[in-house]
Every structure is written in structure tokens, then in C-alpha cells.
Amino acid sequence: MRRRSWGLICLASAVHLALADSAAVFNWPDPLLDSLDDTLYRQAFALVSLLATDCAPRDDTTVAAQWLRLAYHDTATHNSTTGTGGLDASIAFEFTRSQDVGLGMLESLQDFLGPQNEYVGMADIIAIGAVNAVAGCGGPVIPFRGGRIDATEAGPATVPEPQQDLDSHIASFKAQGFNETEMIALVACGHSLGGVRQVDFPLIVTEDVPNGIQTFASTVGFDNTIVHEYLNGTTENVLVVGSNITTRSDLRIFSSDGNATMQSENLHSLASPDTFNQVCADLIERMINTVPSTVTLTDPIEPFDFKVWNTILFPRSGSLAFLATLRIIHSDLNRTVTMFWKERTGTFCPEAGCSAPAFQVTSAGASSLANLKGVESFDLHSFNASIDLATSISHFWFEVDDNDGSAPFIVDNHGANFTIEQDVLLFDPQRSGLNLTTFEFTMVVGVKDAPTSTSVTGSSTIIDDNAVIPLPSTLNFTFTLDESHPPADGYTFYTSPISRLAFHSMICATVNGTAYSLWVPFTSATGL
């Protein structure tokens, strides 16, 4: 079982069972998988990956090179003996150390600030960055697992440095979980991208080089040119041929097994492009999955065939409005989708359930990572149902008709139905809105049959690009009775301004001694 250690989460979140190598199953509601899937595969939410697409240049190297180096330096704090450290975003407390020199570190962390919320931390986004870095530069597509937990302090200063000897490097990689062969390969994989900047390492890059950076290989993309140039004597990698012999760490590492792992006579060596890609995919996957022993990662997250997304239930002039979207991977089928639901109390719906057709089907772009997995785009089947106020709603499901002569089929959360946990505490998108005086979002929530003792509090994940420690933080706040929205439809309304730096919030209410919680993600709050 995996537990998030930060943020205010009033009720237990979903539990992920690790099944060997099968893709993660999305059992709604699962805010962690829901958010990670958006960040990985939805174009509109994959802004992070967009920066590294096509191996985009930055600071005379590439965004991808900066991201991959950052991911390794974060991982390098792992100690396999104690099971501590690893990819845990501790780099946010460490990037000012000399072993982490380079402006790419802070820049990358700032690139990664944004998708975090009450369920997803920085560490998962650093790992997503590494996956996108390698794929964006034409390398292999590395499977991604989620659920990393962010550190709250710096780890040990255990990043290997070029002036250290081979034995120290062997010991460092061993502590990080890699043997000597794997060390050779992982360094070659990492140093496929980018290079050494003179401003950061003036004692290594001793001669003037174009743009102040000596690249490890003559090609920009993720490939094994670094291996070939090392073997055929044309390499300009300063960690191999630099004038300062002390800092030729790549040479010491690459030749540490008599060049067996690198050399071309060996068909299974890194000199074969296919082997290079396969070995690098495996090792970089292991690198990003190097986490403290207390963390359990999810199964690999592949684009979900069917995803219930962005549901909102709220009182709307005499009934309950229920907005929901069923996202389906685009196909050429002309599908029609019907939503069904059953009442929460009493009888209202027919035996087969109440139903509503989709009111619109829109297309949503897929990220470049999704494109690489064969997903062109998504179809969003959206519903806008009016639910009987008195009997409310307990669960819903969908019937999908491919309109090709085949029998319609049911999408019901793998047989469990999509269950609405509660209708006591609801986010009201119509009563919420932008405060034109403060330009802050005013959030309004409704509480059903609220006694005067009701207390409503919130907790937002704050994303501040200017934070000294580039990590998300948490802000607690209290709702007050909303004077401008009198009680209606059995609900009493409470309001609070939401910080401009907050994109996701967890709302908690205690009503008659019972605690209710409601997650209001960015998508609900903005109606995206």
C-alpha cells in the first residue's frame, strides 16, 4: 500500500495492487492515476513534455539533456543498504551544491513545477521528464510508473564527480543499485545527450569551445554515437580525451572492463543501436524507479481505453446537475455513448436506470508520448444530466454503441460501477468564479442539510515559480458562510478566495460530526 505523506487528505485514497508488469488499471476515482495520465498523455496537460519535444535546444545544450542529468543527480542519493533516497525530488534542496553545478538544474525544476497536486508530487514529474527527454530525442519509450513521494530535506552528497577515481565510482553506482557493467552502460546512455559547460567546469573544458560547451558526442539526439566515437578514436568527450587526466572519468569507466561493454566486435555491446536502446531503456527505467524502500510504485501507466474524467455534481435550480466526461481513445468508429445512473435513496429511475445521451463529443489532442504509443487523439463524450434532487444519485455507468452492427457494451468501472461517494459536500462551479476585484478565484461549495455548526476548510497545493526551494507547498484556509448565495435546493453555500498560485484544492467539511472530503482539481475549477 502506498500512502501520500503530504497535503491534507481527509479520507483514504485509492490503493494500488502491484501486479507483475501488467499495465495499471484505472478504477475510478483514482486521483493519482487520473492526474498522471493527464500529464503523460493529454496534450493540454502535458506542457512539461512539450518543452523537450524534438530534442529542443536550450542553453547551448538540450532541455532533454538537462532533465536527464537532473533525474540522475536526484537518484544518486539512493543508498541500497539503508533503502533511503533515490528519485524523491530531494534535488530541490541540493541543486546549489557544487556537485550539482549548472543552471540546467534550477531551470529544469521550474519546468517541472505545475502538474503537482494533493496526490502527485515533484518526484513523479522529474521521472516523467526523464521519460520525455529520452523519447523526445528519438530514444526508446521508457515505461512510467507513478507514486513517488517527495523528500522534505536534502539527501547525502553522493553524486559522482569526474575527478574521483574508478573505485569511488564503482562504489557510488553499487550504492545506487548498479553493478560495474551497468555503470558503464548507464553513463554511456546518459552522456548520449548534452555535454560539459566551460563555465561550470573550467578545469575540464580547458580550451575555448563553440558556445562554451563540449558535447559528449557529435550528434544531438539520443543514440550510440558516443560509443562509436569513443571506439574509433574520434571522440571529443572531455571526460575521455580532456587535457586534464584526473577528470577523464568516462574513459576510466568505459574502459574498466577492457572495453567489453562498449566494443563493436561484441554483437551484444552498446555499439549495436538496438542493444544500446534496449539496455538504456532498461537502465534508465531502473534509474527512475530507484526510490526509497518505503515507496511502492504503481504498475506502468499506459493510456486508458476508457477514462471517466472531470465529474462535477452540484445543485442547479431545482435539480442536481451532474457533469461527466467519458474519454475514449480515438478510433474511426462513430460511437454513441449513453450514461445511466441510479438514485441514492427512494425510487425515481426506471429499473434499467435513468439515462442521458452525450450532449457533445469533442476531440482532445494527445501528447507526443501518447502519439509514440499509437494514440492519435481522444474523443471526449460529455454529459450534462439533470438528476432528481430528492432521490439524488448513487452510481453511474455507460453503454457504448459502436454503430457497426456489433452489440453495445457496458463501461462500468470493471464491474464495480462508478460510485458517487457522497452528495453532502459539493463544489459549485456556477456559484464559483473569478473575483473581478482581486482577480482571485472565489470558490463556492454547497453543504446539504447543513447545521450551523458546520465547518468547511480547504487546503491548496501552491505552485510558486519563485519559491526558493522549487517544490509545491500547501496553504490551508477556511470557508465562511456565503452571504451572496442564499441556501437553495437543500444546500447551504460556503465561500473562500483561492490563491492565484493554487490550482488544485482538497475541501473538507465536518457536518454533524461526520467528515466529508472533496477533491477539486484544476479541471473542475476552470471548467476545462
Ligand X SMILES: *[C@@H]1O[C@H](CO)[C@@H](O)[C@H](O)[C@H]1NC(C)=O
- Applying CB under 6 A, which of residues 34, 229, 250, 343 lies at the interface with ligand X? 229
CB within 8 Å of 209: residues ≥ 6 apart: 198
- Applying CB under 6 A, which of residues 476, 500, 515, 526 lies at the interface with ligand X? 476
366 by DSSP, 3-state: which?
Answer: strand
188 by DSSP, 3-state: which?
Answer: helix
Binding segment toward ligand X, per CB under 6 A, in 137-145, 225-233, 298-306, 517-525: 225-233
**Considering the complex, what minimum distance in angstroms separates the CB of residue 428 from ligand X?**
13
| Residues comprising the chain, all counted | 528
**Considering the complex, what minimum distance in angstroms separates the CB of residue 50 from ligand HEM?**
19
- Judged by beta carbon, residue 111 or residue 229, the one nearer ligand X is 229
Question: All 3 cell numbers of residue 416?
Answer: 464495480
- Applying CB under 6 A, which of residues 182, 299, 343, 423 lies at the interface with ligand X? 182
- Judged by beta carbon, residue 249 or residue 505, the one nearer ligand HEM is 249
Residue 182 binds: one of ligand X, ligand HEM, none (C-beta under 5 to 8 A by kind): ligand X
What angle do the packed helices 180-190 and 63-75 form, to 10 degrees?
150
Distance CA(146)–CA(431), nearest Å, equals 35
Largest CA distance in the chain: 83
Binding segment toward ligand X, per CB under 6 A, in 62-70, 75-83, 274-282, 297-305: 75-83
Contact 126, 112 (CB under 8 A): yes
Residue 474 binds: one of ligand X, ligand HEM, none (C-beta under 5 to 8 A by kind): ligand X
- Applying CB under 6 A, which of residues 13, 27, 43, 244 lies at the interface with ligand X? 244
In terms of phi and psi (left: phi > 0; alpha: psi -120 to 50; beta: otherwise), the region of 516 is: beta
Contact 226, 192 (CB under 8 A): yes
Helix or strand run (H / E) with residue 504: strand 502-511
Which residue matches cell numbers 482532445?
A: 364
**Considering the complex, what minimum distance in angstroms separates the CB of residue 67 from ligand HEM?**
8
Distance CA(128)–CA(133), nearest Å, equals 8
**Considering the complex, what minimum distance in angstroms separates the CB of residue 48 from ligand X?**
25
Residue 186 binds: one of ligand HEM, ligand X, none (C-beta under 5 to 8 A by kind): ligand HEM
Distance CA(414)–CA(335), nearest Å, equals 20
- Residue 411 amino acid letter: V
Which residue matches cell numbers 521550474?
A: 110
Instruction: Based on the shown chain and the rule CB under 6 A, indicate whether residue 403 belongs to the binding site for ligand X.
Output: yes
Instruction: Based on the shown chain and the rule CB under 6 A, indicate whether residue 342 belongs to the binding site for ligand X.
Output: yes
Q: Which spans of this chain sit near ligand HEM (rule: CB under 6 A)?
A: 61, 65-66, 68-69, 72, 101-102, 104, 160-162, 169, 186-187, 189-191, 193-197, 200-201, 249, 253
Residue 472 binds: one of ligand HEM, ligand X, none (C-beta under 5 to 8 A by kind): none
Contact 21, 351 (CB under 8 A): no
Residue 232 binds: one of ligand X, ligand HEM, none (C-beta under 5 to 8 A by kind): ligand X
Instruction: Based on the shown chain and the rule CB under 6 A, indicate whether residue 261 belongs to the binding site for ligand X.
Output: no
Residue 231 binds: one of ligand X, ligand HEM, none (C-beta under 5 to 8 A by kind): ligand X
Binding pattern for the stretch 276-315 against ligand X, x by CB under 6 A and - elsewhere: ----------------------------------------
For 446-465, the DSSP string reads EEET--TT-EEEEEEEE--T
